[in-house]
């Protein structure tokens, strides 16, 4: 298949198909023009493509219920394409012309790699096209899928994955997580908020879809579970093993009042003022330090609840200790105290459960390990938000003090579900700091959500990679992606429009099916 250069118009190269080309090259495809006379090569990306009828036949004949001449039904493909990569040797500061009547052909994988400018290491995705409400994978002349390599650095510049339910965002996130675990030898911490989305990644994916199998073969990959895989779940919540979650990889956890960061407890507080929220950790810190010195580290959260209740009865004046260790006193309003007591009582069963493990950063920052914190279920979000905040502090601290060199990826799936309480919002607030400093500490965050407005304000500015599966086009446009409403509406499952960090030429892509944790119905 070949196309002939007509010339340039409004900064785009215009081409028309040759006779041997019997279809429309979809938008997003790549074309290569080679000039044998100069040895120059130009790689173009199709920006607009349409059908044209060179003989402009009259509709009269068909209107009279007569069949038309087949010869009149010949069509051509007219293309407008951007020059995305020029390869030439000239050194005079000028840019080569692309002469009219030059011949263009579909680019090879190597040429697309050149055009995209990505490296060779990173998760591979399929370059896709979008035309007339149809998504297709880009292929070269031999029919092989064209792939693109997402840069590894993308992880540490934060990623937003958006899409409606069933559009493919969780599957894509799983794919990225497995890559991070296996190929980057990193540690992944994922928060599972819904069903068993992330709870079966120890099992190889299963599909009978030949297209998926072909995609895996193209990548030289096969379905496999994540080997070092642990699901942590609150001791007060039973994990749903009826959905074939492997019991052996599940670990009951609890919060340890002796070690928990006082700031993490603000995750418990709902319906109280910001000032009270600021005072509460200092009240807890004072009590925690006192217990540590008096009881050799053996005390329970129940004892703190009792301590606070007694304080309320004795005038609501509490000794405090700030993070620098300065002591003081604070008097809380009665209504605030009542609220705090209610919240503490609600959280009692998060702490000090026998037979449950207290986890910290050493459980998470393990190379090649994927850790899932399951917060689906009653009270799960509150528990998760306290735990996550505590863990985030510890992980950042461990990285700051160079106790760990393991790359870290944090995945917040269904942000909109996790974000619906004050407590979890607090936890996400801590992610802001991580997002801004993640690159240097090698900590990455993937936010997965149905709507980008679910992301805490301010975070959107530090997210450098945006991947939109089928969702609201206006949201995507507000984040700088060039996509029309129709194009967004026509994205099939697994296909996405994207703005990838350091890979600006990749616009439409398809993620392979994750090798683990996806089970298609037979």
Q: For binding to another protein (CB under 8 A), which residues are involved?
A: 19, 55, 57-61, 64, 66-72, 74
User: Which residues make beta-bridge pairs with 509?
Assistant: 127, 496
Nearer CB in complex with another protein: 54/302? 54
Nearer CB in complex with another protein: 66/248? 66
List C-alpha distances in Å: 481 to 76, 385, 469.
30, 32, 12
Task: Name the nearest CA neighbour of 481 among 494, 499, 495.
Answer: 499
Nearer CB in complex with another protein: 1/74? 74
Nearer CB in complex with another protein: 75/312? 75
- In this structure, which long-range contacts are made by residues 52-57, counting pairs with CB atoms below 8 Å and at least 24 apart in sequence? 52/16, 52/76, 52/77, 52/78
CB of 72 to another protein, least distance (A): 7
Cβ atoms of 149 and 123 closer than 8 Å = yes
Nearer CB in complex with another protein: 74/219? 74
List C-alpha distances in Å: 152 to 181, 186, 201, 345, 407.
12, 12, 22, 45, 11
CB of 490 to another protein, least distance (A): 31
Nearer CB in complex with another protein: 61/306? 61
Q: Residue 521 has what DSSP assignment?
A: -
Nearer CB in complex with another protein: 60/94? 60
Cβ atoms of 44 and 30 closer than 8 Å = yes
Burial classification of residue 266, based on how many CB atoms lie within 10 Å of its CB (0-12 exposed, 13-18 middle, 19 or more buried): buried
Nearer CB in complex with another protein: 56/296? 56
Task: Name the nearest CA neighbour of 161 among 414, 384, 485.
Answer: 414
CB of 74 to another protein, least distance (A): 6
CB of 13 to another protein, least distance (A): 21
Burial classification of residue 209, based on how many CB atoms lie within 10 Å of its CB (0-12 exposed, 13-18 middle, 19 or more buried): exposed
CB of 43 to another protein, least distance (A): 29
d(CA 363, CA 225): 20
Task: Name the nearest CA neighbour of 344 among 234, 278, 279, 266.
Answer: 266
CB of 70 to another protein, least distance (A): 5
d(CA 85, CA 45): 9
Number of other residues whose CB lies within 10 A of the CB of residue 9: 9
CB of 64 to another protein, least distance (A): 6
Nearer CB in complex with another protein: 61/110? 61
CB of 16 to another protein, least distance (A): 13
Nearer CB in complex with another protein: 56/314? 56
Structure tokens at 522: 């037979």
CB of 58 to another protein, least distance (A): 3
CB of 76 to another protein, least distance (A): 12
Nearer CB in complex with another protein: 71/242? 71
CB of 15 to another protein, least distance (A): 18
d(CA 107, CA 146): 9
CB of 65 to another protein, least distance (A): 10
- Provide φ and ψ at 293, rounded to 5°: -80, -30
CB of 196 to another protein, least distance (A): 55
Nearer CB in complex with another protein: 75/250? 75
Beta-carbon contacts of 318 under 8 Å, excluding residues fewer than 6 positions away, are: 279, 283, 286, 308, 311, 329, 330, 331, 332
Nearer CB in complex with another protein: 64/94? 64
Cα torsion angle, 189, 403, 266, 255, sign = positive
Q: Residue 238 has what DSSP assignment?
A: -
Structure tokens at 320: 């405090």
Q: Where are the beta strands (DSSP E) in 218-315?
A: 228-234, 250-253
d(CA 183, CA 168): 22
d(CA 200, CA 16): 50
């Amino acid at each position: 298949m070949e196309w002939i250069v007509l010339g340039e118009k409004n900064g785009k190269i215009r081409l028309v198909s040759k006779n041997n080309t019997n279809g429309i090259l979809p938008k997003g495809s790549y074309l290569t023009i080679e000039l044998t006379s100069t040895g120059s090569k130009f790689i173009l990306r199709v920006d607009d493509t349409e059908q044209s009828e060179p003989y402009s036949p009259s509709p009269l004949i068909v209107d009279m219920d007569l069949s038309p001449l087949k010869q009149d039904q010949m069509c051509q493909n007219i293309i407008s394409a951007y020059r995305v990569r020029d390869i030439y040797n000239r050194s005079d500061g000028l840019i080569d012309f692309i002469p009219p009547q030059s011949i263009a052909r579909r680019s090879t994988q190597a040429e697309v790699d050149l055009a995209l400018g990505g490296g060779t290491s990173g998760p591979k995705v399929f370059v896709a096209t979008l035309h007339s409400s149809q998504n297709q994978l880009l292929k070269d002349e031999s029919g092989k899928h064209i792939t693109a390599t997402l840069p590894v650095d993308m992880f540490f510049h934060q990623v937003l994955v958006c899409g409606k339910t069933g559009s493919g965002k969780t599957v894509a996130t799983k794919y990225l997580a497995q890559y991070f675990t296996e190929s980057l030898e990193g540690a992944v911490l994922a928060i599972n908020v819904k069903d068993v989305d992330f709870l079966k990644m120890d099992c190889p994916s299963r599909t009978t879809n030949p297209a998926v199998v072909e995609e895996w073969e193209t990548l030289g990959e096969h379905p496999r579970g994540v080997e070092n895989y642990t699901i942590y779940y609150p001791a007060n919540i039973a994990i749903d093993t009826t959905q074939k979650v492997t019991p052996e990889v599940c670990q009951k956890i609890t919060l340890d009042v002796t070690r928990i960061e006082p700031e993490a407890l603000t995750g418990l507080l709902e319906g109280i003022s910001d000032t009270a929220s600021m005072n509460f950790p200092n009240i807890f810190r004072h009590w925690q330090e006192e217990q540590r010195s008096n009881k050799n580290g053996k005390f329970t959260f129940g004892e703190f609840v009792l301590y606070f209740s007694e304080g309320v009865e004795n005038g609501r004046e509490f000794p405090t200790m700030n993070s620098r260790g300065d002591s003081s006193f604070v008097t809380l309003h009665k209504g605030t105290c009542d609220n705090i007591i209610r919240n503490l009582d609600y959280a009692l069963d998060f702490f000090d459960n026998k037979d449950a493990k207290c986890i910290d950063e050493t459980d998470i920052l393990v190379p090649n390990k994927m850790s899932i914190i399951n917060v689906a279920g009653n009270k799960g979000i509150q528990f998760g938000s306290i735990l996550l905040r505590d863990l985030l502090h510890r992980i950042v601290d461990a990285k700051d003090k160079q106790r760990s060199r393991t790359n870290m990826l944090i995945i917040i799936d269904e942000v909109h579900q996790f974000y619906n309480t004050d407590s979890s919002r607090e936890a996400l607030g801590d992610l802001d700091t991580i997002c801004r400093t993640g690159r240097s500490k090698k900590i990455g965050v993937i936010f997965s959500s149905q709507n980008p407005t679910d992301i805490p304000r301010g975070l959107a500015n530090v997210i450098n990679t945006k991947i939109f599966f089928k969702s609201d086009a206006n949201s995507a446009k507000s984040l700088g992606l060039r996509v029309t409403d129709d194009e967004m509406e026509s994205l099939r499952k697994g296909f996405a429009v994207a703005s990838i960090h350091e890979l600006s030429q990749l616009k439409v892509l398809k993620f392979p099916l994750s090798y683990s944790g996806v089970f298609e119905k037979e």
